[in-house]
A and B are shown apart, each in its own frame.
Chain A
Amino acid sequence: EDKVVQSPLSLVVHEGDTVTLNCSYEVTNFRSLLWYKQEKKAPTFLFMLTSSGIEKKSGRLSSILDKKELFSILNITATQTGDSAIYLCAVNGLTGGGNKLTFGTGTQLKVEL
């Protein structure tokens, strides 16, 4: 059974801090790993990672994948209160005919002034 584990489950930081969120996975026929940000409503897409060692970057957010050790990290530098959200990691495993996403429980990040 495909499995995604995220850590920490929850953390509180001060504005300006840097945070690293972790995601480890076990999946059959790995296709990609995705990061989403979920505030009060639906998840919004952040990154898709398919290759090891290639950092994806968007502003203060960056992410990298290690397919040998089966994990990914999401970094947020110079955090702001608007970064407060649940960050979801999902792994896309290829099944016959298409993909299947398995989600972790998420890391709840709270950024305080």
Chain B
Amino acid sequence: EADIYQTPRYLVIGTGKKITLECSQTMGHDKMYWYQQDPGMELHLIHYSYGVNSTEKGDLSSESTVSRIRTEHFPLTLESARPSHTSQYLCASSERFIGGREETQYFGPGTRLLVL
């Protein structure tokens, strides 16, 4: 079983608050990802990182920001939460791609965010 953790699991918060969703993994994986998933919809990549001090935006535009100061930690921050940010946020990690080697993303349990 993959060792990737997310906190909190559920968060209900008022509009305008700053929030940080935590994600950590103990597998020493270089790559980490944040996905956003609305009920019944596909996962959309919003941020990814290939290693410490590396962050990139994904396919889906997001007002959130991320940081990667330590290999094991990839927090996502919303400076001012809005109801449109209500969604499930999933964190994942994978090993570095080395030519020809199979790569699997392992997911955390997710954070369900409700912004009132």
Contacts and interface: CB of A to CB of B under 8 A. Distances in A.
Given A42-B90, A99-B97, A50 B43 contact: no
Interface string B11-31: 000000000000000000001
Contacts of B41: 105
B80 interface: no
Nearest to A104: B42
A50 B103 CA distance: 10
A99 B107 contact: no
Contact of A42 (B94, B103, B104, B110): B110
A42 B107 contact: yes
Nearest to B108: A42
A104 B50 CA distance: 23
A100 B60 CA distance: 13
Nearest to B107: A42
Given A32-B102, A99-B97, A88 B45 contact: no
Interface string B25-49: 0000001010000001111110010
A45 B104 contact: yes
Interface string B43-68: 11100101000000001000000000
Interface of B: 31, 33, 40-45, 48, 50, 59, 90, 94, 97, 102-110
5 contacts: A34-B104, A42-B110, A90-B43, A99-B31, A100-B48
